[in-house]
Structures are given as structure tokens and as C-alpha cells.
């Protein structure tokens, strides 16, 4: 399924700016690109149409031999993170061409994809918002437990998908309908209203929506 062009960036953190009317606007600052096009995939050659972009340049010695051979074709250096973006017309982009924050403008709606903060192993109250057991009437050392999880003779098992304690966070999350407040090409910065997935320095994909 064809999408829209996007860019890779690093989450710098959150701050606030002031609107024209003096209102406070909370924003997330993302340092995005420039991301060179490292590969253009076509229907004829690859079975689908997409462009591959790179982010976070690294020394040649830190890339594997296959990675060096692949990225050398674009003659733009070597990059830590590579991502593909499906496009309807990838032929519009040339090998080695830079994708910059200029593809966005204030007011644009975007979707941001990143890895959410990892919370480790958590109980059902934190992970699934369970109420917990009673605090009185004889409940002893089980106030934050999940209670009964299974059935009796029929079906005599714990059903798949049961909400239980376990690993929380560290999942790929996409936030939709976020608004770009400001774009600063001289610093390769995008200011997005509100929050986005991930911790500071997390790598994010910012794509146009709609």
C-alpha cells in the first residue's frame, strides 16, 4: 500500500513556545534529516515501489561489509538507521538525493512512529489498569494481584489473550493527526504539537498524513 514521503529524526525533547495570541503551546522538538535516498525500489525490479532513506551517519569501519556495499551505491556515506517508505511514484526521487524538513510546513498533519518507553515487567494494575482487590475484609498480601485467571472443567484452561502481568512498553507505536507548529530548515528541526512516542534521543519516523 503506497504511502507518503517521510523523514527520519531524533527526539530532542519537549519544550514550549508561544503562539501569536500569547498562548502556550507544548511541543516536541525533533532533529530530522537530512536523509539521503540510498535505494529506489521499483515494481519491475523489486516487486513493489519504495524508497530507502538513511539517518545518523557513522564511520565506514562501523558498517558491515554487506552494508558498505549497499550504501556505497549512493555515494553518500554510511548510516546507522535505514528505513523504507512505500510510495506511489518513487521514480521522482534519485539515488543520493537528500530528504529534508522542507517537505513539511507549519499546519501540516503528520503521523509519528517510534518505539515507546520500556517499563519492564509490570503487574496488572499498571499494565492494564486493573482495580485490584479489596483493601479490607481479610485480603492479605494480594491487593495488587489479578485475581482468578482460568475456568473450571469447561474449557479448563486459561484463554489466549488474557490480560496478565508481563513486559510493558518497548513496542512500535504510531501517533496520528499530530500538527506541525514550526519548521526550522537551518537547524533541521521540526516542532510538533504535543507528545510523540519514545524517550529522548529515540529515532522517529515522521510522515505526512492524508
Q: Looking at residue 111, what is its pLDDT? A: 95
- pLDDT, average across residues 99-121: 95
Q: What one-character-per-residue DSSP string does the chain give? A: --B--EEEEEEEEEEEEE-TTS-EEEEEEEEE--EEEEEEE-HHHHSS-EEEEEEEEE-GGGS-HHHHHHHHTTTS-EEEEEEEEEBS-GGGS-TTPEE-GGG--TT-EEEEEEEPPP-EEE-HHHHH------SSTT--S-TTS------STTT-SPPTT---SEEE---EEEEEEEEEEEEEGGGTEEEEES--SS-TT-EEEEEE--
For 128-185, the pLDDT digits (tens) are 999 999 999 999 999 999 999 988 888 899 999 999 999 999 999 999 999 999 999 9
- pLDDT tens-digit map of 72-81: 999 999 999 9
Q: Indicate the pLDDT class of residue 88, thresholds 50, 70 and 90.
A: confident
pLDDT at 151: 86
pLDDT band at 92 (very low <50, low <70, confident <90, very high): confident
139-154 pLDDT, tens digit per residue, is 999 999 999 998 888 8
Digit-coded pLDDT (tens) for 107-116? 999 999 999 9
**Residue 104 pLDDT > 90:** yes
Gyration radius of the chain over CA positions? 23
Amino acid at each position: 500500500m503506497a504511502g507518503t514521503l517521510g523523514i527520519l529524526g531524533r527526539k530532542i525533547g519537549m519544550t514550549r513556545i508561544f503562539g501569536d495570541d500569547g498562548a502556550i503551546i507544548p511541543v516536541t522538538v525533533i532533529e530530522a534529516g537530512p536523509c539521503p535516498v540510498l535505494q529506489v525500489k521499483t515494481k519491475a525490479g523489486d516487486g513493489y515501489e519504495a524508497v530507502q532513506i538513511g539517518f545518523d551517519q557513522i564511520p565506514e569501519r562501523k558498517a558491515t561489509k554487506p552494508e558498505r556495499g549497499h550504501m556505497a551505491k549512493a555515494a553518500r556515506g554510511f548510516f546507522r538507521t535505514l528505513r523504507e517508505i512505500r510510495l506511489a511514484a518513487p521514480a521522482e526521487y534519485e539515488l543520493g538525493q537528500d530528504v529534508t524538513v522542507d517537505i513539511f510546513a507549519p499546519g501540516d498533519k503528520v503521523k509519528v512512529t517510534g518505539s515507546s518507553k520500556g517499563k519492564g515487567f509490570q503487574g496488572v494494575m499498571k499494565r492494564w489498569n486493573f482495580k485490584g482487590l479489596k483493601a479490607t475484609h481479610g485480603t492479605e498480601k494480594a491487593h495488587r494481584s489479578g485475581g482468578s485467571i482460568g475456568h473450571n472443567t469447561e474449557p479448563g484452561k486459561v484463554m489466549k489473550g488474557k490480560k496478565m502481568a508481563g513486559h510493558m512498553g518497548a513496542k512500535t507505536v504510531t501517533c496520528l493527526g499530530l500538527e506541525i507548529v514550526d519548521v526550522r530548515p537551518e537547524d533541521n528541526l521540526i516542532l510538533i504539537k504535543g507528545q510523540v512516542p519514545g524517550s529522548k534521543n529515540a529515532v522517529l519516523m515522521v510522515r505526512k498524513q492524508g
